[in-house]
């Protein structure tokens, strides 16, 4: 594991996040029609159009790709600037994820949280948690970064 990260962010970014990404991959691949229908409480499982199927599988591939990039980058780099740049990029990705989900739901959909599906809740809660964790890390709330070979990396 990345010894550059303090224990809390290391556990979140090196353990929890890859597991969540693999779960997102598996969920969207194993039951693609149900996954697509679960993106909105207004949808029901149906025979997917080829475009819907392609988009869902492409999304699955992005989850899998992010899981592997996460594992490889955070477990192999010895440069703190790489870790910070990677987590900063994901911070922006979290904002995009939350914004696009909110935009697609619209005001009425956002206000009707009681009717959200499990997938819709996951689309908000998981990126919100990771966004908060990344924000706290980037602000230095978890403490100063590790010392490697007697030199503090900034």
Q: What are the helix (H) ranges across the chain?
A: 7-11, 17-30, 32-38, 50-76, 80-111, 118-138
pLDDT at 143: 85
Q: What is the CA radius of gyration of the chain?
A: 18
Q: Which residues contact 97 (CB under 8 A, 6 or more apart)?
A: 123, 127
Distance separating alpha carbons of residues 36 and 109, to the nearest angstrom: 17
Domain ranges of the chain: 7-139
Question: pTM for the complete prediction?
Answer: 0.85
Residue 103: per-residue pLDDT: 94
pLDDT of residue 153: 45
Per-residue confidence (pLDDT) for residue 149, from 0 to 100: 54
**Residue 44 pLDDT:** 74
Task: Kindly give the parts of the chain with pLDDT less than 70.
Answer: 1-3, 146-154
* DSSP tag of 151: E
Burial of 53: CB neighbours in 10 Å, binned 0-12, 13-18, 19+: middle
pLDDT tens for 124-153 read 999 999 999 999 999 999 987 765 554 444
Question: What was the pLDDT predicted at 42?
Answer: 72
**pLDDT at residue 1 in the model:** 45
């Amino acid at each position: 594991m990345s010894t550059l990260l303090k224990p809390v962010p290391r556990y979140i970014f090196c353990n929890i996040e890859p597991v969540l990404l693999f779960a997102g991959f598996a969920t969207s691949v194993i039951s693609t029609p149900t996954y697509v229908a679960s993106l909105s409480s207004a949808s029901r499982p149906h025979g997917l159009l080829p475009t819907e199927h392609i988009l869902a599988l492409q999304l699955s591939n992005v989850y899998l790709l992010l899981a592997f990039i996460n594992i490889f980058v955070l477990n192999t780099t010895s440069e703190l600037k790489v870790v910070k740049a990677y987590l900063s990029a994901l911070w922006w990705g979290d904002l995009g994820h939350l914004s696009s989900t909110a935009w697609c739901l619209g005001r009425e959909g956002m206000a009707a949280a009681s009717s959200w599906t499990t997938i819709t809740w996951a689309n908000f809660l998981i990126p919100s948690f990771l966004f908060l964790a990344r924000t706290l890390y980037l602000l230095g709330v978890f403490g100063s970064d590790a010392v490697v070979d007697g030199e503090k990396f900034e």
